[in-house]
Structure 1
Amino acid sequence: MEILLVGTIHLGETPDIHTLAEDDKKKYSDVHFKQLAADIAKFQADQVFVEYPFELHKQLNAIYHSAEVNEDFKENEVYQIGFRLAKMLRHDAIYAVDWHEEPEESINLGLVAAGKSKAEYEEIMEPIKAGMKTLSSIIQQYDIIKLYKYINSREYILNDHKVYLDLMQLGDETAFEWVSKYWYYRNLRIVRNIKRSIRPETKRAVILYGGGHNYLLKQLLEDDQSLKVIHYGDWSE
């Protein structure tokens, strides 16, 4: 089975660092998102998996089939890209596979950001901030395909994953606990949800997820040798 993994920036309100400034978000319209969805649709996926709580799968599909959708939800990449893609492919359903519960207070990464390792933490996060500036410069070109190819490029993915590896090396044990007991655990749960949601007849699928998950999702999915995962940045029709 082949999977096209499409890392995305978050388009709605979220505290995630992989979020564009409001002015940058406004530079893209329905025309751009239709263009991106149409390009991904060439993969001819049988299922589309998105970053939405696994236990709210039925609720998500009620929205997917509804004629009236909340305006706040329309800002989200699940709607702007995921829904458009699934409807272009005439799918009867879209699949929610996320797990995202708040970590225990004792392993909250915010404690590291404000604690004794604050300076080292801020230094580690600099590549993410630099990456967002690069994204912003690409956005000025109004080329959404180029933007998403960059988000899914080997360079961007490796730089992003290095942040988590560096956090584990901090002297503050809380950072290690957050990466191992929350971040890796979350991605393992997501992969389990994906595998539980794959229909027997599915030969191709698209996973639309926050760009920060790109490295681990590919690695964990390909531990199953029956799955071949392709980053959108490496894929051409």
Structure 2
Amino acid sequence: MSPDPEQTRDGLPEVDPCEIARNPPEGWPESESPPDERIDVVLLGTHHMDEPGLDEADPAVPDPLAPDQQAQLSTLADRLEPLRPDTVAVERPHDRESAVNDLYATYRDGQAYDEEVRVTPPDPGRDEPDTECRSEVVQIAFRLADRLGHDRVRAVDEFPDVPETDPFDDREIDTSRKTPPTWPEPEEMEQKRTAQLERKTVVEALRYQNDEERLSQNHREMFDRGLRAADEQFGSPVNLTFWYDRNLRMAHHLWRVADGAGDRLLFVVGSGHVRVLRHLLTESPALHPVSPLPVLRVE
């Protein structure tokens, strides 16, 4: 399933996705099965480009519609295209897939990626009735799927029911004999991430977000707060259970939308999901997680 050299963009070296699976970056599992006996899932972690305000730390994001950002997003598509995924999956509710693809069809019909338009369906968790074309779903996933000639994308998100109560809210926890780790405050993280996005290109920003150290730190902070029931957003075992439940459902839908053994998917997803999804896919005999770092390092 190597990319066709005649279809690889001028100036870019050929990328063999199977070779990435055989020789993965740090933290990623080696493939134990031949390519035609597994389903590869490239997990492309990204920030939310339309700033939906769903995360604990929400950095200010450069406007994806600005001309320089559009050029950089085109370069990102150049990097991703040689992976030749058979399916592009997006972080949108699976039961809204028809509406997602209605929107995708309008872009395939010639609507520009850089137009100031508002589109549906909504991003889960947002109060607003619709989401802007600034979303990574449009700017990354639609752009790549369109280049590859795909007639649709696949929506694979699913939110479990939100618990009505959290017993850990009122539980007194004696921390006098424990020394909890010190994590940066959300405001500090926002400032740092904003600075990163301001001085990096889109490719550089995603390279940073998919680096093993960054993936590990992000997950450890969230897991530690949930385990200790720290008084922070997401800081409860109940919330941590919700988070894992949601990612398990994503893994299920990734398996569901794959055509079968030998298929390759690329999932455009918030970078905070990557580490837990990698673990869940590694434990699945049918699915094999693949890092996007080798193509993000192409210059």
Q: Shared topology, TM-score over 0.5?
A: yes
Structure 2 counterpart of 1:161: 219
1:175, 1:21 → 2: CA distance? 27
Deviation of 1:44 (Å)? 0.9
Range 149-158 or range 219-228, more displaced: 219-228
Partner Cα separation in structure 2 for residue 90 and residue 148 of structure 1 = 24
Structure 1 vs Structure 2 CA RMSD: 3.2
Pair 1:29-2:88 in alignment? no
Counterpart CA distance in 2 for 1:171 and 1:4 is 32
- Higher Rg: 2
Are 2:248 and 2:280, in contact at CA under 8 Å, matched by a contact in 1? yes
Q: 1:52 is paired with a residue of what secondary structure? A: strand
Report if aligned partners of 2:63, 2:134 keep a CA contact under 8 Å in 1.
no
Q: Deviations over 1:170-227 (max 9, x none)?
A: 25697012112x0111110111111111112652211110011010111101112343
* % identity of equivalent residues: 22
- 1:176 paired with 2:237, answer yes
Contact 2:255 2:287 in 1 (8 A): no
From the two aligned structures, give the one with the greater helix fraction: 1
The 3-state SS of whatever aligns with 2:283 is: coil
Given that 2:219 and 2:272 are in contact with CA atoms closer than 8 Å, whether structure 1 keeps it comes out as: yes
Higher RCO (C-alpha under 8 Å, 6+ residues apart): 1
Q: 1:99 to 1:137 in 2, by over 3 A?
A: same
Partner in structure 2 of residue 2 of structure 1? 40
Between the aligned partners of 1:142 and 1:62, the Cα distance in structure 2 is 33
Superposed, 1:193-208 pairs within 5 Å as: 193-200=253-260, 203-208=263-268
Distance 2:71 2:203 in 1: 12
Deviations 1:84-143 (A, max 9, x none): 01011111110000012562231399x69xx978xxxxx866276555444333333342
Cα distance in 2 for partners of 1:155, 1:21 equals 22
Matching of residues 52-131 of structure 1 within 5 Å? 52-66=92-106, 67=109, 70=118, 72-101=131-160, 103-107=162-166, 126=184, 130-131=188-189
Q: Secondary structure at the match of 2:88?
A: strand
Cα distance in 1 for residues equivalent to 2:250 and 2:167 = 20
Contact 1:153 1:231 (8 Å CA) reproduced: no
Instruction: Indicate if the aligned counterparts of 2:43 and 2:274 stay in contact, CA closer than 8 A.
Output: yes
1:120 aligns to what?
none
CA contact (8 A) 1:153 1:234 kept: no
1:133-152 matches, within 5 Å, as 133-152=191-210
Shift of 1:30: 1.6
Show the counterpart of 2:89: 49
Gap runs ≥5 in structure 2:
1-38, 112-116, 120-130, 174-180
Rounded Cα–Cα distance in structure 1 between residues aligned with 2:94 and 2:291: 23
Q: Under a length normalisation based on structure 1, what TM-score does the superposition of the two structures give?
A: 0.82
Unpaired runs of at least 5, structure 1: 118-122
Q: Separation in 1 of the partners of 2:285 and 2:256?
A: 16
Partner amino acid for 1:137?
Answer: A
Distance in structure 2 (CA, Å) of the matches to 1:100 and 1:63: 22
TM-score under structure 2 length normalisation? 0.67
